[in-house]
Structure 1
Amino acid sequence: MKNSILKRGLELSVICVFALTASLPAQAQGVAGVTDKEILIGSCSALEGPSKFLGTQTVIGANAYFKVINAEGGVHRRHLKLISSDDSYDPAKTEACFDHLMKNKVFALGFFVGTPTGVKYVPMVESNKIPLVGLFTGAQTLYSPLRHYILNVRASYYDETREQMDGVWNTLRFRKVGVIYPEDPFGTTVLEGVKIALQAHGAEPVATASYPRQTTQVDQAIGTVRASDPQAVVLVGPYNTVTAIVKNSHAHGWKPLFITVSFVGTDQLIREAGQDAEGMVITQVVPPYYLTDLKTVALYRRTMAKYYPSEQPSFVSLEGFVDAMVLVEGLKRAGRDLTHEGLIHGIESIHKLDMGLGPKLVLDYSETDHKGFKSVIPTIVRGGRAVPFDDWSIAATH
């Protein structure tokens, strides 16, 4: 009898402890970066250096959406706080940047920028088992093989280069394509994307040449590719290096169809290259920010005008805004009792969600697919802005 009473008392104690633990806030249960009132998110990006436009705009866009959500009361009554740290788009600075975020005990990561830096962060993310949502890069290694803790929002560089080569080959009937790329993982992943896309047409680039990353030492690469007389040339790099290539080429009378991917930072490229950007084709992963008939673009513009009135809208900050929307949707679906796995499963539960970005950009995840958007939007620079198109014949008059 006595043993029975003791056993019953022990069972009740266990039940009480379990109930008490379940009612504690996430932080009291050991979930870093979460309190009753706040969720900490960490970001590493280029806030300094020659490519800082990409990092600062990404962070501004993300913060803008966080302000919208916080003004509405937060996510499950918790406000969002973004801790952003600089890695200058420099792989050598990635470990220090990541460690800084870990010391600040963030709950999750988001809004990272760049391929050379991104590939350095992957093992850090995986070893710390912390979700990373939204990277301003389309490097294939982030998509395949599936990485449990990496949740991409944008379409990949392979998606972008496939759109480019299909348009060039099928519509423009160009048969000679060159590639100029930086000597880093960004350059090699886009080059590989072009090669794979051309292989589908039984072809390959007629010439490729590289240049030292984050420099304007591009003369030799230009000369090498120009010697093969390509009709179209894919330029790989951020706005500062692509500007140098385009201006140098035009100054020496070389004017093939120049094409580049979304990472370039379209708006800054147009500002720096000026008239030399006219006629360039740039594939985008979000719609132009002036298409305010789209619900999310309109929200983005109103939010930027309210919280960042001195900032010009851009493709980059719009992408940061959209990435933040996806992170917030995942947090909402994860529920009040936040865990890393809960966030991941929350995002994986998003199926064919209309994000207010037009029919091409429908958000779709699963346990075996961590790429939210599958489509890209080709644009051509006309009159100082990137104009979307469906028919590649528009690029024939570049």
Structure 2
Amino acid sequence: MSDQEIRIGSSLALAGHAGYLGTQMLQGAMSYIDAVNAAGGIHGRKIRLIAMDDGYDPTRCLYNTQTLILEKKVFCLFSYVGTPTTVRILPLVNEAHIPLVGMLTGANRLRTPKNPLLINVRASYYQEIAAAVAMMVQEKKLDRVAVFYQYDEYGFDGLRGTEIALETYQLKPIAKGSYLRGTLDVETGLEKIISSHAQAVVMIGTYGACAKFIRLAKENNFSPLFYNVSFVGSAELARRLGRVGHGVVITQVVPPLTADKAGKMLPGIKQYIKDLNRWYPDAAPSFVGLEGYLNARILALALERCGRHLDRNTFLTAIASIRDYDLGIENPLSFGHGDYQGLDRVYFTKIDHGKLVPLP
């Protein structure tokens, strides 16, 4: 940090099988950061984001984070993507006592035990899955639920979340299937789940593997309720599936990007789309992009509250001071002592003729 700029650092997937997620996250965040800098910055300082590609690989993420902290001397870490990558850097975060603001992951490991350095914005996977399982069991009257998951920290977290949610209804997963991160080897897991005659499948994976699983399942005349958590990258999943994806359900942790029946759009969504169009005119709005945009808004808000005399402790105090803050998304943002997750609401969407639409 200097009198002219505040350096922040991000390690995220910008290429490879999770590259869509990191690219969208970065574009969303930079849309707001560029707008702030164009208006003069924060108390006379511009925000400089140093982004490094980790390809959704924990080892590369660890190396990038060491570089950001030790060589680039960043003030804080920002908008990391993925559970296995983010979990891998936790010892560095604690050792350097450096804040990490906004992560594209709902993992419980980043929420328990509570850590004031880990500033989660989004709802957790446990919250997403609990809402989805309630819909399956209470509304749809389904009791044969299988789990398809990525075999790593991300998938294990989603699997455990599903088990906890099902226990509420005295149920257990009827079958479990997995695949290795970075591959599309879904066939063995699919075979196990098809043979279980599951009525619904909770999917904890990325867009490529999940799209292949759903496509192969339907080719084998297996069409249960397919449900994905938000990290899947819903827009890319819908694009890859096309008409085959009709009816697939995805939970989101930010509001729908479309206007309501009365033609009104939430002001926070309108501003995101306006800033995205200004700075990235060729990019399409997305749920992941909106998440990155909101992360940047929260970062800037805390920096603004710190005043000109900025350090990491005053920054963490500023985060904790945010209560019932209106982001223009009809979901007030609140942190506080012992509460390091700002938002809790979960939204339902489904793929309808290749497009994502909100469920009532």
Q: Report TM bin, short chain.
A: over 0.9
Match of 2:180 in 1: 212
Match of 2:135 in 1: 167
Matched, 1:42 2:9: yes
Which of 92, 95, 104 pairs up with 2:62?
95
Shifted more, 380-389 versus 141-150: the winner is 380-389
One-letter code of the match for 2:9?
G
One-letter code of the match for 2:303?
L
What is the rounded CA distance, in whole Å, between the counterparts of 2:167 and 2:354 in structure 1?
A: 34
1:334-367 Cα distance to aligned partner (Å, 9 max, x none):
2211110111111111111121112xx2211112
Matched, 1:122 2:94: no
Matched, 1:315 2:317: no
1:95-115 Cα distance to aligned partner (Å, 9 max, x none):
211122121111111110000
Matched, 1:331 2:298: no
Q: Secondary structure at the match of 1:380?
A: strand
Correspondences of 1:262-341 after superposition (within 5 Å) = 262-291=230-259, 293-341=265-313
What is the rounded CA distance, in whole Å, between the counterparts of 2:308 and 2:258 in structure 1?
A: 36
Correspondences of 1:239-254 after superposition (within 5 Å) = 239-254=207-222
TM-score norm. by structure 1 comes to 0.87
Which of 345, 349, 362 pairs up with 2:332?
362
Q: Secondary structure at the match of 1:66?
A: helix
Shifted more, 154-163 versus 326-335: the winner is 326-335
How far residue 79 of structure 1 moved from its aligned partner, in angstroms, is 1.0
How far residue 383 of structure 1 moved from its aligned partner, in angstroms, is 2.7
What is the rounded CA distance, in whole Å, between the counterparts of 2:269 and 2:22 in structure 1?
A: 20
How far residue 290 of structure 1 moved from its aligned partner, in angstroms, is 2.8
What is the rounded CA distance, in whole Å, between the counterparts of 1:112 and 1:59 in structure 2?
A: 9
Match of 1:67 in 2: 34
What is the rounded CA distance, in whole Å, between the counterparts of 1:66 and 1:154 in structure 2?
A: 19
1:296-346 Cα distance to aligned partner (Å, 9 max, x none):
110111111111011111111111001111111111112211110111111
Match of 1:388 in 2: 358
TM-score norm. by structure 2 comes to 0.96
Q: Percent identity?
A: 38
What is the rounded CA distance, in whole Å, between the counterparts of 2:131 and 2:304 in structure 1?
A: 34
Q: Secondary structure at the match of 1:164?
A: helix
1:248-293 Cα distance to aligned partner (Å, 9 max, x none):
1111111100000000011111111111221011000111223461
Q: Secondary structure at the match of 2:16?
A: coil
Of structures 1 and 2, the larger Rg is shown by 1
Q: Secondary structure at the match of 1:81?
A: strand
Match of 2:159 in 1: 191
How far residue 191 of structure 1 moved from its aligned partner, in angstroms, is 0.6
Match of 1:261 in 2: 229
Alpha-carbon contact 2:145-2:202 (below 8 Å) kept: yes
5+ residue gaps, structure 1: 1-33, 391-398
1:52-91 Cα distance to aligned partner (Å, 9 max, x none):
0111111111111001111221111211111000111011
One-letter code of the match for 1:145?
P
How far residue 121 of structure 1 moved from its aligned partner, in angstroms, is 1.4
One-letter code of the match for 1:356?
G
One-letter code of the match for 1:370?
Y
What is the rounded CA distance, in whole Å, between the counterparts of 1:349 and 1:278 in structure 2?
A: 43
One-letter code of the match for 1:316?
V
1:134-153 Cα distance to aligned partner (Å, 9 max, x none):
00000001011101211000
Q: Secondary structure at the match of 1:354?
A: coil
One-letter code of the match for 1:298?
K
Alpha-carbon contact 2:12-2:61 (below 8 Å) kept: no
What is the rounded CA distance, in whole Å, between the counterparts of 2:151 and 2:91 in structure 1?
A: 22
Which of 148, 169, 182 pairs up with 2:150?
182
What is the rounded CA distance, in whole Å, between the counterparts of 1:304 and 1:286 in structure 2?
A: 16
Match of 1:83 in 2: 50
5+ residue gaps, structure 2: none
One-letter code of the match for 2:112?
S
One-letter code of the match for 2:350?
I
How far residue 164 of structure 1 moved from its aligned partner, in angstroms, is 0.3
What is the rounded CA distance, in whole Å, between the counterparts of 1:241 and 1:136 in structure 2?
A: 18
CA RMSD, Structure 1 to Structure 2 (Å): 1.1
One-letter code of the match for 1:179?
V
Match of 1:139 in 2: 107
